[in-house]
Structure 1
Amino acid sequence: MRAEPGAERRHKGCPETGRRLLEGVSLPAAVVREAPLAHNLAWMQRFAQRRGAWLAPHGKTSMAPALFHRQLAAGAWGITLATAPQCRAAFAAGVTRLLLANQLVGEANMAIVADLLEAGAELICLVDSEANAVALDRHFTARGLRLTVLIELGVPGGRCGCRGEDQALTLAERIAALPGLSLVGLEGYEGLAGDDGERRVADYLDEMVGVAQALSAAGRFESPTPLITAAGSAWYDRVATAFQALERPFQPVLRPGCYVVHDHGLYAEAQRGVLAREGLDEGLRPALEVFAQVQSLPEPGLAIVAMGRRDVGGDRLPLPLRRYREGGAATEPLTVAGWEVTRLMDQHAFVRLPEPVAGEDEVRVGDVRVGDVVAFGISHPCLTFDRWQRVLRVDEALEVQEVMETRF
């Protein structure tokens, strides 16, 4: 059962829409700022279109149907998901083209996908073994359905996927004999290759291109323009460049997910690499923040903020960005220079304050007050979104424009 971060979750009927974040909204709260969100949607769509690629953003990042529909409205071809239940949730929210970037294993999960196909979904999934292909064929043939699949190409020591061209060709030959399956392309994920550096990413993508062309030359794809898809949120530029080298007609599909809100950590670093490689001056902008209040000033140099692991992902500690007085104006931020989050507990963040000076009373140290509202930047959006059932979209005045529900 998922933990419930803060009172914001318990008051599900509270009409936050139209309220200012600095007053009348229970904190902590996960917040998406509209201006950078709109920028990111347009930026990534333009990037994909310039490279002749379709965009199928990975929905597992947010699992927020409101964001799915913003991505589709911006021009996305479809939405990528990681599990059959995620596909079901997206389809229930009106998303009809689904790319399940995973193997579909287990009768219960196959039944979910079969139900979606019967309800009108357009769904593609991955396969990397004869055993899985045979099981899929048996299930979908029995339901009178034909499942569209991509062969996955993996990396040595990585997770799923065929290892090399020979395995992929052998699997494609087997799929051709299975009436319940239709092979329409090749899939990969370059992120695991990236653990060994940029050179390994390039080598893996070259291998993908070679395998795709070998499968096409062998006549294994049913589509005249088969799909070739990869691209997480760190190396999508390298993927787009590699796929442009294909000699035969393929349709590239890019699948970054975190771009929609970006971050102040892991993907901010990755973006600097993209900008340098592409010769660009401006890229994505961080849109996702967690707002929380100073709860206690128990000793000099220490603030306790009412935000913890149940509210924000923990692969890196959150970054203090801005501070406001409760009830104050968004145009009057206060400094957080020198602030550092040193530790997270379930519902508390330990913040080291610079050069503490005793204040006028026991709830004030320097200019920091109990009740001050602090905006924190996060790293790796997936690990913050999944802590919230609702995320607040705000304008530049920090007025809540929309309450976006998630479907984890």
Structure 2
Amino acid sequence: MQVTSIREKGVPVSGKQLLQDVSLPALVLHRSALLHNLSWMQEYAARHGAELAPHGKTTMAPQLFLRQIEAGSWGITLATATQSAVAAQHGIRRILMANQLLGQANMQIVADLLRDGELEFHCLVDSVENVHQLGQFFTAQGLTLNVLLEVGVVNGRCGCRSQQQIDEVIAAVAQHHSLALSGIEGYEGVINSESEQQDVETFIARLVEIALALKASGQFSSARPIITASGSAWYDRVAEAFARQDAREAFITLMCPGCYLVHDHGIYQQAQHALLERHPEMHRALLPAMEVFAYVQSVPEPGRVIAALGKRDIAHDSLPVPLRVYPQGSTDAQVLDAGYRVLRLMDQHAFIEVSDDHRLTPGDIIAFGASHPCLTFDKWRRLCVVDDRLQVTETLETFF
């Protein structure tokens, strides 16, 4: 029997049986849940008159980017110039870099991408200084750069806080013929308060009002500029705000969730529970598609099991969740209850609390659920997509 490691770049593992033929640990995507999430979110955005620009930093898997585009996404959102270059090199022709573009080396990457004439690219601005840096650089390059005004929240991340800052940035953009104000952006995911839902709704409503005011005063470079927000937690509130008739008709309204494609067993599952309380009719929303499979390595003492899984394999801002066990040599899963709990992680080991009468033995395989997909994907260079029988149907390469 030939055992294949998905960590080894370029090794095909399609057609293999995950539990028998693939070296573990391995990051696994369940095909049925992946396809469900892909179509569900696309349909959800369409019902609200919005477009999807999924955040690609979550997976950095261009094969998934292309699948999202084929399903109807407007483009792909990314966080850095180098990520944008990866997407462009794999055929993505519309990119929103939801970040400021800083530094001559990064500006040159974008300039080189724009020079081929086939890429529509947008980035964010929130300071006069950065606007002048961009204007001078792209004027020298003989290129036009699309920029979106970023509006932020107090104690949040980037983005203009006050109307004075907004006015100053807009005026600075107007000074440079090489810059085109193509829209406005905000990110509600940094809002954390006792009245979080109300504060999110207030922020998105303010974003829409600022955008309408800028459009009415002729500040945008196109007749239908972009307005965009939405992480993976509050997309329903963003979609509802963007569905306002005046916004829907005036703007290309973009939603940019990234984690929806694979969902998780942690922070986004909790966010979905809150969403379902707001919208009980959305009972079959997103499904967890991402798991990491690993061996039981040692059973050293009562109440303790060690799995061959660690911080190098799975996100650890929240601890992973043991979901199912596949006894050695079997493809039949046994669901693990809440009594099986990861206590802590080392680089390559997970410490699992178990009952004294557990039946786990070395060589058994545990499927772990993770929280925060972004910090799990970036530990892997290749991913296994499996069907409901755990046959590997395809492998995907990541570019972190």
TM-score with structure 1 setting the length: 0.93
1:229 match: secondary structure: strand
1:22–1:326 contact (8 Å) kept in structure 2: no
Unaligned runs of 5+ in 1: 1-6, 357-365
Q: What residue number does 1:81 align with?
A: 78
Sequence identity percentage: 51
Letter in 2 for 1:270: A
SS class of match (2:5): helix
RMSD: 1.4
Residue equivalent to 2:160 = 162
TM-aligned CA deviation for residue 274 of structure 1: 1.8
Partner SS, residue 214 of structure 2: helix
1:218-237 matches, within 5 Å, as 218-237=217-236
**Quick one: structure 1 residues 262 and 110, their matched pair in 2 at CA, closer, same or farther if it must change by over 3 Å?**
same
Q: How far, CA to CA, are the matches of 1:259 and 1:13 in structure 2?
A: 27
SS in 2 for 1:216: helix
What stretches of structure 2 of length at least 5 have no aligned partner?
none
Q: Distance in 1 between matches of 2:208 and 2:304?
A: 54
Cα distance in 2, alignment partners of residues 166 and 243 from structure 1:
25
Q: What amino acid does structure 2 have at the position aligned with 1:272? A: H
Residue matched to 1:251? 252
Q: How far apart are 1:9 and its partner, in Å?
A: 5.4
Q: 2:128, 2:169 within 8 Å by CA — same for their partners in 1?
A: yes
Match of 2:25 among 11, 28, 39: 28
Contact 2:28 2:291 (C-alpha < 8 Å) held by counterparts: yes
- Residue 74 of structure 1, CA deviation: 1.0
Distance 2:364 2:298 in 1: 10
Could you tell me how far 1:302 is from its partner in structure 2? 1.2
Alignment partners' CA distance in 1, 2:8 and 2:100: 38
Aligned match of 1:267: 268
> What aligned pairs does 1:1-400 form with structure 2 within 5 A after superposition?
8=5, 11-119=8-116, 120-195=118-193, 197-245=196-244, 247=246, 249-279=250-280, 280-329=282-331, 332-337=332-337, 338-356=339-357, 366-400=358-392
Looking at structure 1, the residues matched to 103 and 209 of structure 2 have their Cα atoms a distance apart, in angstroms, of 31
Distance apart, 1:12 and its partner CA: 3.4
TM-score, with normalisation over the residues of structure 2? 0.95
Shift of 1:13: 4.8
What do residues 258-310 of structure 1 show as CA deviations (whole Å, max 9, x unaligned)? Answer: 00000011000101222222332211000000000001111112111000000
Q: What is the alpha-carbon distance in structure 2 between the residues aligned to residue 195 and residue 100 of structure 1? A: 27
Letter in 2 for 1:36: A
Runs of 4+ in 1 over 4 A off after TM superposition: none
Q: What is the SS of the residue equivalent to 1:175?
A: helix
Q: Distance in 2 between matches of 1:195 and 1:384?
A: 27
For residues 11 and 230 of structure 1, what CA distance do their matches in structure 2 show? 37
Amino acid at match of 1:75: G
Q: Deviations over 1:46-80 (max 9, x none)?
A: 11000000100000001011111111111111000
Aligned counterparts of 1:28 and 1:74: Cα–Cα separation in 2? 31
Contact 1:193 1:201 in 2 (8 A): yes
State the distance in 2 between where 1:291 and 1:339 align.
Answer: 15
Rounded Cα–Cα distance in structure 2 between residues aligned with 1:400 and 1:367 = 28
Alignment partners' CA distance in 2, 1:36 and 1:326: 26
Which amino acid is 1:259 matched to? Y
In 2: Cα distance, 1:15 partner to 1:185 partner: 42
Cα–Cα, structure 1 residues 181 and 11, in superposed 2: closer, same or farther, change >3 Å?
closer
CA contact (8 A) 1:100 1:124 kept: yes
Compute the displacement of 1:221 (Å).
0.6
